[in-house]
Amino acid sequence: MGKLQNKVAVITGGASGIGAATARLFAEEGAKVVLVDLNEEKGKAFEAELKALHYEALFVKANITSEEEVANIFKQGIEAFGKVDVVFNNAGIGRVHSSHDLAYSEWRNTVNVDLDGVFLVAREAIREMLKAGGGTIVNTASMYGWVGSPGSAAYNAAKGGVINLTRSLALEYAEHNIRINALCPGFIDTPIIPEESKQALAAVTPMKRLGQAEEMAKAVLFMASDDSSFMTGNTLTVDGGYTAK
């Protein structure tokens, strides 16, 4: 029996990287997965790939910064699979740009996706989980929610926000059987990291390599499943030792 047998999981950013690896592991563990992404082409291809493996999967195109589109994710997921038990609130963007000439519109765009979008998905998830009597949410923050770095002030501020959003929502809904935790990845080998940066980022990681999306998925599975049944409002930092320095 899988760790998420008969559960329904919504995964944002589910077409790529950490979200896709987690969707695959969740499906292997018995979950029906709702893949959410802006990238329709990749999302549909991944849905077809999972279905070909006889997993239950549904792709929903949505922008997590739109209240209407976020509501539609849950409407479609519930229409297809009857409920939502788990939400991996993971879609995000990141760009490196010096702060003194960062356009306000770019700051807003980053914070809009990486913090506001996470709130909108969590809010909708909580609404459904209150009706259903419980559930688990895992938000993707970053090790850059804990430590600073030059050139990504908006991203780092948003990710720090996700960590305290996680604690605050967890406390608010702890008595309602809704557990909310966050993943803080280090440098992970996904399309969000430019190819030309990979070697340098591996070199500054104590374990001298990038993490793999599959290594994140295992941590997410822990937080999403009953294996972490007494954990809420907390974070797992999976970073090859970066923040231990």
Ligand X SMILES: NC(=O)c1ccc[n+]([C@@H]2O[C@H](COP(=O)([O-])OP(=O)(O)OC[C@H]3O[C@@H](n4cnc5c(N)ncnc54)[C@H](O)[C@@H]3O)[C@@H](O)[C@H]2O)c1
Show which residues are catalytic: 155
- CB nearer ligand X, residue 136 or residue 142: 142
Residue-by-residue DSSP string for the chain = --TTTT-EEEEETTTSHHHHHHHHHHHHTT-EEEEEES-HHHHHHHHHHHHHTT--EEEEE--TT-HHHHHHHHHHHHHHHS---EEEE---------GGG--HHHHHHHHIIIIIHHHHHHHHHHHHHHHHT-EEEEEE--GGGTS--TT-HHHHHHHHHHHHHHHHHHHHHGGGTEEEEEEEE-SB-STTS-GGGHHHHHHTSTTSS-B-HHHHHHHHHHHHSGGGTT--S-EEEESTTGGG-
Q: Tell me the closest approach of the beta carbon of residue 48 to ligand X, in angstroms.
A: 16
Based on CB atoms, which residue is closest to ligand X, 154 or 170? 154
Q: How far is the CB of 49 from ligand X (least distance, A)?
A: 15
Closest distance of CB 114 from ligand X, Å? 6
Radius of gyration in angstroms for the set of CA atoms belonging to the chain, rounded to a whole number = 17
134: nearest Cα among 36, 66, 224: 224
Which is closer to ligand X, CB of 12 or CB of 228? 12
d(CA 54, CA 33): 12
Instruction: Quote the least distance from Cβ 93 to ligand X, whole Å.
Output: 5
Nearer to ligand X, 132 or 157 (CB): 157
The residues that touch ligand X, with contacts defined as CB under 6 A, are 12-13, 15-19, 37-39, 62-65, 90-94, 113, 117, 140, 142, 185, 187-188, 190-193
Smallest separation (angstroms) from ligand X to the CB of 192: 3
Of 190, 216, 179, 186, which is closest to residue 23 (Cα–Cα)?
216
Identity of the residue, 15 or 224, whose beta carbon is nearer to ligand X in the bound complex = 15
